[in-house]
Chains A and B, each alone.
Chain A
């Protein structure tokens, strides 16, 4: 509905900051060619407009989304903000433009290119969050559980409730290596922390024992006559294997027979 203009909006990378970009776009009645978060320096010939984050403007947009569009759309936009696509910010802006024009009906416009692209990105993100619930592996360090993940999307906010509920009586940490953020749950309180660095300490003998028991169970449960590595890879893409116990080699006792049993070289996880 707005005219496209050869301008790139630049904001601080926060959700409120993005809402201010939306505000700006409505004030100026224009659609920029791109929106970038402050951290990424972008080489562009277009004019760059710095959009400062303003709580008041952000609050106005935030309140308008559930009111003028729908609560469901607000949810979608919040998840879309966690996705990793380069154009996610612009996609959110375009989605909201349609939303403010047609209202809740935007949810049903599944064949529209913008809505479709946004839904695809969200699906990728929620699928990855689901995979994290499946494939995260914790290690026990003196009663403190820790896990490392490398997701493409910022999935931690989406999996926090699941794990804090499940391990309500434990203390644990989930470290997202890609985005350098972590979910820390300590004394029944959960917190998401940013810009941190974490490295797994060495495992204790007891921890190592349960890992080996699990690997042994994993190898045992497969039926040789039904060997089907392609199906396994479809269900459990290789990029998740890196942090999974069943594919990690015990540094002290690498075994050749095991490599044959599971049909892969566990020390060489590939990215795909």
Chain B
């Protein structure tokens, strides 16, 4: 089998893995006869036709697999062409792509052949070829093999910048049904092992300068969205726990794309729940950069995201008691909670207001989206001039253009009323949700 065919098969098998970031480690220089470096911000070297970034050469070592996970395209029972790269082929391809600036490094995962330990050893061989023979200082992300010996995972971690264990599905029940060969503990155990190892390593490198670094870019994971009935709230709480307890750098969400007919899964032809995935990423950002807690974004009563509004706008509308916010005085944390103000514009506001009192035109210059922010802020005690507050008006400004269009076709804004009827407790009733919109609204149109 020639390289073209192998690359096609093993790239095809790896493409459903969402994580392709190269961030988290800054490494300049290295041996003068080596090649490569890593930038902490990460670099996306291209974008595929689906708009996803291509940062790393994302391939499987092999797509032969002993396991039979129902959601996976490489499951044992699936009839697909199989192939296998040798460690030499992987190293040669990586170096030659890297020299031409096509990629930032390698993302290596694998199906399980012979045994988890054997598979892991083969991966280690490919990575040590790259690191030692080719003196490659670029980025390497390795996926751990479930069930491999901890000692092998340790060796993998000293060669790679980031390692990840996929949690795959958000609950034990879903795992039992769809991934009979995996269990929650077989996933969380290595994850915990890696977390401990990273922590231990951070002490070692303080003590001994030459101590080998263990996964300096940290650990990430991925779960599949929409293959099982788990709710958004369950998923978000799980993410929060993983950011907290396991100190993960990233949790990736991957909208399930049907891969062959399975009676336990959504049928082939089902559109991937892209809007849901998009909302999860928005909420994930709120957890990591905006100081939100999962319980603030969703709760037991509201387990699903509002398809019409992003989670931050949704929160703001449900908490009128927090607004309006005075731009010239409010603390940074509160500025971050205003729809239309992001991390960068909030930082700029804090910097600029040291010099002068800010007014609405100034905010525009600092990159604030006034269209949204207007309803939630005051500048030196004043509302924006000519601002008319009506419920449909606010809704219209807070929703994305595509959602507005969608709604108008469905019968318009008249059906939406949530400001008119405050209930006796003085709280706003739950926002109306139109679950059917979910699959049809195009998301990811420039909002992420």
On A, residues with C-beta under 8 Å from B are 105, 108-111, 113, 116, 130, 133-140, 145, 147, 162, 165-170, 188, 210, 212-214, 216-218, 220-232, 234-236, 244-246, 261-263
Contact = CB atoms under 8 A, between A and B. Distances in A.
Interface stretch (B35-43, B112-120, B283-291, B331-339): B35-43
Nearest to B446: A234
Given A210-B96, A218-B48, A226-B274, A110 B348 contact: yes
Given A213-B7, A225-B257, A231-B445, A220 B15 contact: yes
Contact of A135 (B12, B28, B45, B352): B45
B32 A168 contact: yes
B257 A223 contact: yes
A216 B99 contact: no
Contacts of A234: 51, 446
A109 B34 CA distance: 44
Interface stretch (B52-60, B172-180, B240-248): B52-60
B301 interface: no
Given A168-B35, A230-B51, A235-B47, 9 more contacts: A108-B351, A111-B366, A140-B99, A162-B39, A217-B11, A218-B46, A228-B49, A232-B49, A235-B44
B355 interface: yes
B51 A228 contact: yes
A62 to B, nearest CB: 26
A105 B37 CA distance: 36
Interface string B76-118: 0000000000000000010011011110000000000000000
Nearest to A212: B4
Interface in B339-354: 348, 351-352, 354
Closest 5 CB pairs of A and B: A231-B51, A111-B362, A222-B48, A228-B51, A226-B50
Contact of B48 (A140, A170, A232): A232
A102 to B, nearest CB: 9
Contacts of A244: 46
A236 B11 contact: no
A134 B47 CA distance: 10
Contacts of A108: 351-352, 354-355
User: A-side binding surface: helix, strand, loop or mixed?
Assistant: helix
Contacts of A228: 49-51, 444-445
Contacts of B44: 134, 235
Nearest to A120: B365
A105 B362 CA distance: 17
Given A168-B34, A225-B271, A139 B446 contact: no
A225 B272 contact: yes
A134 B43 CA distance: 6
A139 B99 CA distance: 9
A263 B33 CA distance: 41
A212 B48 CA distance: 16
B300 to A, nearest CB: 32
7 contacts: A105-B355, A111-B352, A111-B358, A140-B99, A221-B14, A231-B51, A261-B49
Given A109-B355, A109-B356, A231-B51, A220 B8 contact: yes
Contacts of B192: none
Contact of A137 (B28, B36, B102): B102
B272 A230 contact: no
A127 B35 CA distance: 25
A210 B352 CA distance: 50
A167 B51 contact: no
Nearest to B33: A169
Nearest to A110: B352
A244 B44 CA distance: 14
B29 interface: yes
A147 B12 CA distance: 29
Given A109-B355, A245-B100, A169 B8 contact: no
Contact of A169 (B35, B97, B366, B445): B35
Contacts of A168: 29, 32, 34-35
B100 A165 contact: no
B358 to A, nearest CB: 6
B29 A165 contact: yes
Nearest to A116: B365
Contact of A232 (B33, B35, B51, B58): B51
Contacts of A225: 257, 271-272
B210 interface: no
B271 A235 contact: no
Contact of B99 (A167, A227, A261, A262): A167
B257 A245 contact: no
Contact of B16 (A133, A147, A212, A223): A223
A228 B447 CA distance: 13
A235 B53 contact: yes
A38 B149 CA distance: 69
A214 B57 CA distance: 9
Contacts of B35: 166-170
A227 B48 CA distance: 9
A246 B46 contact: yes
A214 B355 contact: no
Contact of A220 (B11, B47, B272, B352): B11
B51 A235 contact: yes
Contacts of A220: 7-8, 11-12, 15
Contacts of B420: none
A230 B53 CA distance: 13
Given A109-B355, A169-B32, A218-B48, A136 B101 contact: yes
